[in-house]
Chains A and B, each alone.
Chain A
Amino acid sequence: MSAAPVRLDIDGVAVEVPAGASVAAAVALAAPHFRRSRSGQPRAPLCGMGVCFECRVRIDGVEHQRSCLVPAREGMRVACDD
């Protein structure tokens, strides 16, 4: 791995991922699921490419971000289960 790893905060848990990883990868390391469905079921990424919206989380206060499309950046604060 060339670049230094990136540290993020996922629901209060500190996580480290390689540079170039997605926020989805970081969430996978820390949280049991990404969101809950309308009827309360736990959900996690399905498509990996921005189509299904199952991976959406709140990133730095902005809701409904598709975490599979967002590269992880140092110091990001991510909240699941919105």
Chain B
Amino acid sequence: MTERCDVLVVGAGPAGLAAAQAAASHGARVALVDMQANAGGQVWRRDARRPASDPARERLDALLAGARVRWLGQAQVVAAEPGQVLVEQAGTAIELSYGALVLATGARELLLPFPGWTLPGVTGAGGLQALVKQGWPIAGRRVLVAGSGPLLLAAAATAQRHGARVVAICEQAPAARLHAFARHLWRWPGKLAQAAALRARLAGTPYRTGRWVVAAHGEGRVVEAELNDGERIAVDQLAVGYGLVPNLELAQQLGCELQAHGAHACVRVDALLRTSVASVYAAGEVCGIGGRDCALVEGAMAGHAAAGAVEAARALQPRRARARAFAALLPEHFRLDPRVLAAATPDALVCRCEDVRLGEIDAHADWRAAKLATRCGMGSCQGRVCGAALAQLRGPAFAPSLSAAGPRPPVFPVRLAALAAHGAAPHAPPPAASEPITHSVPQGTVP
């Protein structure tokens, strides 16, 4: 089955929703695809136990009710090439052809290994937030939230609102740098208000700076978290996340040029959010971690541009510059202490799918060699977790997103039955467009 649309938007977070809305406003036939059952992405995830506290819902439903937007939920794009993508939904394959494509695939958490991080009860920080909103039982449990970045506060607040006892929040950055960060916030009153509200809600929760988790202890499940100062804290749930990394698999498969984004990479776009591949746009976290406001304005810009309304896109450039200027503060103030990386001991598993220890990786020169020799990154998650971790721990030679060989299709494991029903094996990745990108926006600077 082949379906057609003018503008295809992959990802229905703030960026994808704004893109769909903008493109539809010019009369384009829009298809919006997300592997989650509901639209909203990471920040507007529907809350199963507290449905009333979902301010985004009306907005989403209004958009999705629009006749011009075709919504494909619980549908993953498993392969992409210029002009068409392959979508898997409920075990069947759908071929979607498009005039223009907006990549709004968002970001995932940076999860770094430490001894015991594979124990049940240990999750990412945003990971815990996501699970709790989906009904994960947390009431009465002792939770420690650790890692780095503003997401720790949001995750702790969600857990607490659902009845968890948050025993502490441990931020690896030193207090002085956090104070410096706070002093910048007056320029973004919305962010300031958000931060203040979170801190107020967590008033009784100890917030420790310069602290990080070096090990999780327990038999069959976590019972204790060990901090860098030697303290051990009894927990039922341990949530550790070190910020976010863009989801680049589709962009890479399409041949979009990438650029460095800290130890990782993001999609390189010009001032109108065009990627290096003709008719392919990118918006939101996939262009560099920027947060919700950035995702919203970039999504709108990409949606306008993809529908051919270049002036409407251009009019949003000042708002984008403001949002990106805020984003630029994050890597500076929350940069990782090298000692945090040392929590990944040679004995710690780095590839959870294939049970490969970090020490085994260190016998090899780069990601490809390590992968061939140890099977690291060859399991179900296809290196999504260990690839980002190794990029952070061992540098560019171990960064799959920065190496020449992009991921092959399918970008998610897909059942053979779905492909057989579709009558085709996934195609080989297409070559990049010959036209080089002319105007690129460096991360966080004003275009």
Contacts and interface: CB of A to CB of B under 8 A. Distances in A.
Contacts of B36: 49-50, 69
A76 interface: no
Given A18-B48, A52-B385, A56-B380, A25 B134 contact: yes
Interface string B66-96: 0000000010000000000000000100000
A47 B136 contact: no
A17 B381 CA distance: 27
A4 interface: no
A20 interface: yes
Interface in A57-82: 62, 64, 68-72
Nearest to B388: A51
B352 interface: yes
Interface in B77-127: 91, 108-109, 111, 118-124, 126-127
B319 interface: no
Contact of A68 (B111, B134, B221, B381): B134
Nearest to A26: B135
A34 B413 CA distance: 19
B198 interface: no
Contacts of A62: 91, 415
A53 B379 contact: yes
A42 B437 CA distance: 47
Interface residues of B, number: 44
Given A33-B120, A42-B120, 18 more contacts: A1-B51, A17-B135, A18-B49, A20-B46, A26-B135, A32-B120, A32-B220, A33-B221, A34-B120, A38-B354, A46-B352, A47-B127, A48-B129, A48-B131, A49-B130, A50-B35, A51-B109, A64-B413
B380 A2 contact: no
A-B pairs with lowest CB-CB distance, top 7: A21-B135, A48-B130, A25-B135, A44-B120, A20-B48, A53-B380, A22-B134
B136 to A, nearest CB: 5
B353 interface: yes
B158 to A, nearest CB: 11
B122 A69 contact: no
A10 interface: no
B228 interface: no
16 contacts: A21-B134, A21-B135, A22-B136, A25-B134, A32-B120, A32-B221, A34-B120, A37-B118, A37-B355, A38-B353, A48-B136, A49-B126, A50-B35, A62-B91, A64-B380, A68-B130
Contacts of A71: 37
A46 B353 CA distance: 12
B350 interface: no
Contacts of A44: 120-121, 221
B355 A49 contact: no
A46 B108 contact: no
B304 interface: no
Interface of A, helix, strand, loop or mixed by DSSP: loop
Interface in A1-40: 1-2, 17-22, 24-26, 28-29, 32-34, 37-39
Contacts of A70: 37, 74
Nearest to B91: A62
A38 to B, nearest CB: 5
A34 B121 CA distance: 11
A17 B74 CA distance: 20
Nearest to B121: A44
Nearest to A48: B130
Contact of A48 (B48, B123, B353): B123
Nearest to B380: A53
B137 interface: yes
A47 B413 contact: no
A48 B135 contact: no
A47 B134 contact: no
Contact of B352 (A33, A43, A68): A43
Contacts of B121: 44
